[in-house]
Structure 1
Amino acid sequence: MAGPRGGWSQGTVTQLPCRKTHLAVLSFGSSRDGHVGAANDLTVKENQKIFPQKLDGGVAMQVCVTVLQEQECLMKTGTVGGRQPVNENQKGEAASLNSGQAILIISGAADKAVVSVTPNWTKILQGDAVTLTCILPSAAQEYFWFKDDQQIHQNSKTLSTQSASSEKSGEYRCQGRHTERSDPVRLDIVNSAVILQIPPSIYEGDTVSLRCHSAPGYSARSPTLYKDDDTVVQYTNSLYLVKDIRMSAAGRYSCTKEIYAYGRYQTYRSSEETLSIKELFSIPQINARPQGTSEGTNVTLTCNTTLSPPRRGTQLQFAFYKDGERVQDFDISNTYQLWSARPEDSGSYTCKVKTATNICKTSNSIHVTIQELFTFPKVRANAELAIEGAEMTLTCDATGPRATELQYAFYRDEHIVKGFGPSNEYQVHVAKSNDSGLYACVVKTSRSNIIKRSIAVTIQVQELFSDPEIEVSPPTISEGVNMTLTCNATRRSVRDTEIQFAFYKNGEIVQDFGLSNKYHVSSAKPEEGGNYVCEARALSFSVKRISNVLSIQVQAKYTGPDYLLPGLIATLSAFLLVAVILMIVFRRRVTRSFKKQQEVREKKDLGFPEARVRPENEKAPKPGSTHTGDRTEPAQEEELCYADIKINSTNKEQLVFSVISSYQNLSSIFGDSSYEPMDGESTTIQK
């Protein structure tokens, strides 16, 4: 497929017929005006990358091709940059990609081919087998081999020999049709008793095998490795393994080996070989974008390094440090973000790059400076101690190059008292005690998200005087007594403040404001009673306070007839006497009941038959009946007596019976069905 005959000029967008297996690849010709020249036809596979080779008189451009469907392709040429030819560092612009389109990205120089050696040694003994392989970025291409810069006419991926000879020695390179020529690989085929074999390409972090090799068919022992003529190690077999090799391992190496020949072991030494270690990735460079920014700006730090092309698949990890302290741990991201940067983010930054094999390198350091938009605010009051009733002004001080764009807000005890505005003052025209508290201010810019808060300061509004308290003298007021109300308020301000007082009864003023804190009522009358309050004020500061409510009752004199008074006194005395008698009777009953229960317990403890004590609520038994348990049966005797049996503590043979006379007779005398005789009424009976 060929492009337009006039070529493509800078920025041209051209519709091209596009098949799934065919796509045009652009290359820059040698035309004087620098326009894109004719295109070449190539057969490619889906999603395959194409690498055109360098052309005479121009620079071939790498083209990445992705074919999605069999449709037309939208293609845009690279930026030429005036009429100058594109150099290898310039990159083209990609056209927009829609469904069913192919996108062509012009990106710069093409990738190189790579030559590998199997076995992986650059020095080979004559007669050994060796294979060279050409590795291209994409398959199904033509292969071109070069020895000592002379092309070998062999279109094959590999060059191999089963018995190497000295004429095969030389520098080998390979190239695909659309790749750059590989780096040279030196192949030395020698005739020697012992040689030291070193891989042709060694990168830091590699695991490297060094072989002290001798001709097959001879018995050999005691291989020894030397670096710069110093013994490194003695080992048992021919291979010496170095894991995670470092750049410090580079140097001049040789080896010795004992070989059995002519009936005995003789020591042979190889020639010196240079062990070169290539850098896996470059020393990282750190940069910041944008630089010299103001606080509030997002700053991005980037750690840049370049992997060696043959090791592009090596995964790297990045870490960032500020003033020697790690601020972002190792991660695959090579960027560190300072979101809404602050002045405290200023400092010296470095980055480190490492591999899984712990090859670690540190970048240069850069100093990041974040310019402060404004200082941290401070709250300032017009007086350290505010006076109640006076004007109080708080000022929020913040300075900076953009101080005129600042917005201010004020808080008391974490509650906003003034929202954001251009004024940096908060005024209270008449200060009160509840205006005391912790005050702070918050400052922000009108065009950024920078917000700063001051340190809270304590503002105490001093009261001029305490809350007034009202009291009356005397405490009890009778009709005709002189009554005095006093309003007490204590001065608390250092200022000599004049306090005035007023008195109110049931909400009506009875004494207007004056310097006296007393209200007098001569010869009080019942109608002088009511709910009284007093009010104190400092006239110069417009401060007023009202006391609690005091309820006053004026007791009236007795005005009834005189002859009724003696009768009233007699009636009250009679009621009092009856109450005293009832209390005495009740006490005697309680005492007797207690004694009776105590005596019953004593008898029971001594083993005497238990005499039944009639409960107080049980009626007296009728004549002619006996009481047995819960049954009342006819009695065989006319009278029923109750007896209490006691044992004299001095003579247990003597029983003391307290004989109670007829229940009916006793109850008629005392009016008490549960009455029992006193100790003096007992009769002693000899057993």
Structure 2
Amino acid sequence: MPVNLVFYEEAFLILRAPPPVFEGDSVVLRCHGKEHIAPKTLTFYKNDQALELSRPSSELYIRHVNLQDNDEYKCTHKKPWSWGNIISSNMVKVQVQELFPHPVLMVRPPQPIDGSPVTLTCQTQLPAQRSDVQLQFCFFRNYQALGSGCSSSSEFHIPAIWTEDSMWYQCKAETKNSQVGKQSIEFKIPVQRAFADFQTRIVPASQSVFEGQLLLLNCSIKGVPGPLKFSWYKREMPNKETKILKSSEAELKISKVNIGDAGEYYCEANNSRRSFVSKAVPITVKVPVSQPVLNLSTGRTRAHEGDLMTLHCQSQRGSPYILYEFYYENVSLGNSSTLSGGGASFNFSMSTERSGNYYCTADNGLGAQRSEAMWISVLDMTKNRSIPVAAGITVGLLITAVGVFLFYCWFSRKAGGEPASDDSRSPSDSEPQEPTYYNVPACIELQPVYSNDPKENVIYTEVRRTQPRRKHAVQESESPRSRCQMAEKN
């Protein structure tokens, strides 16, 4: 750049300075005189303060100026033969321009989530006149360098930042020769703790599955960086948890569900730094009821009228609640539901009208099951009591008939009469007489014979009387039993 020097007649020394310079440049200030001036007679001043040079020179060399060198300079000459006669040059102000401003540290995202990636950017700008200057950038956390050191990239990538990494961060921009370097203001990155957004998908789309069905649980998570490793757990009771080691994937598959698979399931996602746990999903397994068994409390299927009977119906398997219903000849007698596996009972009083088939059903909403039928018979005591009553009436009539007959026999013998003192009549007479027997027992009293057999409740009684004959008693040989005879029951 051309420089015009103007000399006045009274000017003896002139200090020449370069045009405006940038930080890091080298500056040479030259002190000229009208005459040849010995370098040892020259002195340079900065803001009226004498500068000490390493050796006498007419040039002031400032290596790598910075903004602090932006001051006023002058030079003086002292003639060696004169005492106190000092000649001063003009005052020159060195203008040092900023090569680039202090960098600003930028963070993306500004409020990262625990475990998410973060990008740090060190922003600054070179002037157009020095756009060819190459800068390098360094990043620090709590004054400790990040990465392997400075690089030409103004960005630094952190794969995952955690809540414990919420510290003070800083960056530095400098020229490659390290002549000019500037640091940013310290900045603390607020790292928020991650809240995992779990999505649990169930196939079938219900938390209740039937025994033998396929159960598929899928766990997806948002807001947590990977790679993730999943683990599944089943909680059967508040203090009992089981880790399902066979599944480390996001999907849990149970081909055939049984009653032992019921419980609360949750998944755990781990990204090698922290674990995240989902909410528990309760899974219930519905088991259809088995065929119920109907029992009778007495154990006997024959009862009397008025007996109190208790029917008990129970299914060995089945999910609660189970509804038990009792039937008599396809007519419902009543129902009862139960949560436990003890079954249900039904009480009723027997009557002659309730002889027949009894059975029960069990149903928990997955299909009713019916027990085998049980025949219960009732004995009719009223019909059985009619037999002795009829027999008693018959015996009474029989006794009355026998009494009348005996009286008749006695009266006939009395009326026919034996002659008390009639000697003219003798046994030798030819007229037939009523035979006289001695030591002949009286007519045998008829004994009733009866049976409780409902088919044979009629008693037959036969009474015979032999008429007196006109023959000799000896020839007659009439048996006493011929007068009174009872026919036994055929």
TM-score bracket, normalised by the shorter chain, equals 0.3 to 0.5
- TM-score, reference length from structure 2: 0.40
Question: Whose Rg is larger?
Answer: 2
